[in-house]
């Protein structure tokens, strides 16, 4: 497996993973804005045999890193690819001066919460009705880097 920064050429595969991973997927245009226009954004892809199988992104704002999204193709889940991506992002955030990292996760997404806890994230609050597709709450989690 290889981890590298996301490039525009990755977007077809990223969009395919996005559509099977989220009820309200981001648009291609949203990713293009993140890659070209958002100086705070840092996105990475995981490749297996030159095929993008996962991706993750974060915004670096002062001394905080905010994970925007993490997705692994269903055929590659359970292989710790998401964990490796998150570890790479934690290291990158630390190198760039971040002291802590945060994310939101659906309260129903227990597998993701287990992963985040394993990586040292701790619950810190709730965002009521955060997810617009079903008004589900989001658990806010934080970790010191």
- Examine the residue annotation and report whether 104 is marked as an active-site residue of this protein: yes
Q: Give me the chain's average pLDDT, please.
A: 96
**Confidence (pLDDT) at 68:** 97
Q: Distance between CA 86 and CA 30 in Å, rounded? A: 21
Q: What is the pLDDT of residues 100-130, one digit of tens each?
A: 999 999 999 999 999 999 999 999 999 999 9
What is the fold, at CATH topology level, of the domain defined by 2-144? Aminopeptidase (3.40.630)
Residue with tokens 């991973």: 21
Longest dimension (CA), the chain: 41
When pLDDT is cut at 50, 70 and 90, the band that residue 80 belongs to is very high
Q: Distance between CA 108 and CA 50 in Å, rounded? A: 33
Total number of residues shown for the chain = 145
Q: Distance between CA 105 and CA 96 in Å, rounded? A: 24
When pLDDT is cut at 50, 70 and 90, the band that residue 142 belongs to is very high
Q: Mean pLDDT throughout 18-37?
A: 95
Among candidate residues 31, 43, 55, 116, the one labeled active-site is 116
Among candidate residues 104, 130, 131, 136, the one labeled active-site is 104
From the list 72, 4, 84, the residue with the least C-alpha distance to 42 is 4
Q: Distance between CA 142 and CA 145 in Å, rounded? A: 10
Percentage of the chain modeled with pLDDT above 90: 97
In the chain, where the domains are located: 2-144
């Amino acid at each position: 497996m290889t981890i590298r920064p996301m490039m525009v050429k990755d977007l077809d595969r990223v969009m395919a993973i996005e559509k099977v991973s989220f009820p309200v997927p981001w648009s291609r245009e949203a990713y293009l804005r993140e890659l070209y226009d958002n100086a705070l954004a840092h996105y990475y892809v995981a490749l297996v045999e030159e095929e993008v199988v996962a991706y993750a992104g974060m915004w670096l704002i002062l001394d905080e890193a905010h994970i925007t999204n993490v997705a692994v193709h269903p055929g590659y889940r359970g292989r710790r690819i998401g964990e490796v991506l998150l570890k790479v992002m934690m290291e990158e955030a630390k190198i760039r001066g971040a002291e802590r990292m945060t994310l939101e996760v659906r309260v129903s997404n227990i597998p993701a919460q287990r992963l985040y806890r394993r990586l040292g994230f701790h619950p810190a609050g709730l965002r009521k009705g955060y997810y617009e597709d079903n008004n589900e709450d989001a658990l806010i989690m934080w970790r010191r880097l």
